[in-house]
Amino acid sequence: MDLVRKSDFFSIVLVLCLVLNSLVLFCNGGITSRFVRKLEKTIDMPLDSDVFRVPPGYNAPQQVHITQGDVEGKAIIVSWVTQEAKGSNTVLYWKQNSSKKLKARGKTYTYKFYNYTSGYIHHCPIRNLEYDTKYYYVVGVGQTQREFWFFTPPEVGPDVPYTFGLIGDLGQSFDSNITLTHYENNPTKGQTVLFVGDISYADTYPDHDNRRWDSWGRFAERSTAYQPWIWTTGNHELDFAPEIKETRPFKPFKNRYRTPYRSSGSTEPFWYSIKRGSAYIIVLASYSAYGKYTPQYDWLEKEFPKVNRTETPWLIVLMHSPWYNSYDYHYMEGETMRVMYEPWFVKYKVDVVFAGHVHAYERSERVSNIAYNIVNGICHPVKDQSAPVYITIGDGGNVEGLATKMTEPQPKYSAYREASFGHAIFSIKNRTHAYYGWHRNQDGYAVEADKMWFHNRFWHCIDESPSHYS
Ligand SMILES: [Fe+2]
């Protein structure tokens, strides 16, 4: 009898300890997920994998990808590579149900990187498209013509529903392939990918083996040819390699990927803005100068006042290096940019910031840390309803593997964190509401491991934070 009582007593103590333990986690900050994934090494898919297959036929276009080509969403840039010869740089395109076929002509580039010479890289802008329309397009000639399609966005306006996919730090590992597959099969269909930087990880190979840029282009084509990917530059786009005399940063990225930077008054392809449906998206460059008087700073200072929330209620910023990150990896690397720009983010009520770089997932509460002026000592993040939610989504699945070490205890500003691969969906419903979900790769396609209703900071600025967060 005594023994039974003892074991009962210990069970009660154990339960109490567990409850207290979870309460402690709760009080420290938000949630550190207890999800345990199978730990396996993240390795790149071999070059002869199916997903890297070169399309059949002589000089067949490969690595086809599209991105937005202007500010308003009425233009698109089609890019592709032909390997053996320059071939045609023309895109044939037409509206669904229309027999009138139109032609656009692009330009062709090649580049050398150490002992690598690229294929012929074609970039072809198509302008004056109609909104909310399905277009078909063809690249290549004769036997090796390839046909794709895309949808243009709805006309820019305040209550236009639109769904963005969020992917970061993708790379070309077996896990990258799972992430992309999950994104494609997510029943909430993303219409455009906001990509937060670190594309191919070719620079992890000897001499930055640029064949891995080509293989990445072929791998991602199944998505990038059919919906625009909005590009942010990460550190793996730098390809700065003075040891092999490659000293011009971003050379492969600049040759292979296009951004509509001139349309938004930017002077470099690494920072720019676009409107898409009801969203105004500002892309920033963590690896280009951003201090006072730099071109990026001057541009951003003029850019924020241009955002008309009556036209585009949702203000989204993309960058690579996160400002609020509670993992050990890349801790505080985004700090100098935060110091420069955070007061603007609060003043102009940015709704959400998506970043990558840290190979894990994290979502913040709405916080700011802008009161500090060196002498006053006020240097802690505080709850701020004018501040964005910061989401780190660098969990695409690249060869470098997961960031698993976190700073403990979980800081108060961190609402949810988990070291798993995945992607997210940001689905704008109208000017006041957007639904957000993060999907880890181990779950079924429809499962959201983290989710949140976003309330627009300009139109419906209510406090979304949980009751324990004050
Ligand atoms: Fe990175």
As a whole number of angstroms, the distance between CA 22 and CA 35 comes to: 14
Segment 283-305 mean pLDDT: 98
In the numeric block, which tokens belong to residue 284?
A: 């920033």
What's the pLDDT at 34? 79
Cα of 285 vs centre of ligand 1, distance in Å, is 12
Segment 442-469 mean pLDDT: 93
Cα of 69 vs centre of ligand 1, distance in Å, is 25
Poorest-confidence range of 13-27, 104-118, 176-190, 407-421?
13-27
As a whole number of angstroms, the distance between CA 389 and CA 411 comes to: 15
Catalytic residue IDs = 330
In the numeric block, which tokens belong to residue 378?
A: 């006020």
Q: Report the phi/psi class of residue 461: left, alpha or beta, with left for phi > 0 and alpha for psi in -120 to 50.
A: beta
Cα of 282 vs centre of ligand 1, distance in Å, is 19
What's the pLDDT at 8? 56
**Please, which residues bridge with residue 291 across strands?**
none
Cα of 470 vs centre of ligand 1, distance in Å, is 32
User: How far is residue 330 CA from its own chain's centroid?
Assistant: 17
Tracing tokens 């639109």 back to the chain, one arrives at: 162
Strands 389-393 and 352-355: parallel
Segment 438-452 mean pLDDT: 95
What's the pLDDT at 11? 53
Cα of 449 vs centre of ligand 1, distance in Å, is 23
Cα of 240 vs centre of ligand 1, distance in Å, is 14
Cα of 430 vs centre of ligand 1, distance in Å, is 33
Yes or no: say if 155 and 132 are a contact pair by the CB < 8 Å rule. Answer: yes
As a whole number of angstroms, the distance between CA 431 and CA 163 comes to: 13
Yes or no: say if 253 and 213 are a contact pair by the CB < 8 Å rule. Answer: no
Which of the four pLDDT bands, split at 50, 70 and 90, describes residue 456? very high
Cα of 400 vs centre of ligand 1, distance in Å, is 10
Which of the four pLDDT bands, split at 50, 70 and 90, describes residue 467? confident
Convert the pLDDT of each residue in 70-118 to its tens digit. 999 999 999 999 999 999 999 999 999 999 999 999 999 999 999 999 9
Cα of 151 vs centre of ligand 1, distance in Å, is 30
Tracing tokens 């690229």 back to the chain, one arrives at: 118
Cα of 348 vs centre of ligand 1, distance in Å, is 27
% of the chain with per-residue pLDDT over 70? 93
Order of all β-strands in the sheet with 62-68? 62-68, 76-82, 120-126, 107-109
Cα of 356 vs centre of ligand 1, distance in Å, is 7
Cα of 234 vs centre of ligand 1, distance in Å, is 5
Segment 370-390 mean pLDDT: 95
Looking from the CA of 350 toward its CB, the CA atoms found within 13 Å total 25
What's the pLDDT at 30? 87
Cα of 232 vs centre of ligand 1, distance in Å, is 11
What's the pLDDT at 179? 98
Cα of 199 vs centre of ligand 1, distance in Å, is 9
Cα of 128 vs centre of ligand 1, distance in Å, is 35
pTM to 2 decimal places: 0.93
Residue 13 has pLDDT above 90, yes or no: no
Other Cβ atoms within 10 Å of 244 Cβ, number: 12
Long-range contacts of the stretch 239-243 (C-beta < 8 A, 24+)? 239/113, 239/202, 239/203, 239/208, 241/114, 241/203, 241/207, 241/208
Segment 47-66 mean pLDDT: 97
As a whole number of angstroms, the distance between CA 62 and CA 54 comes to: 7
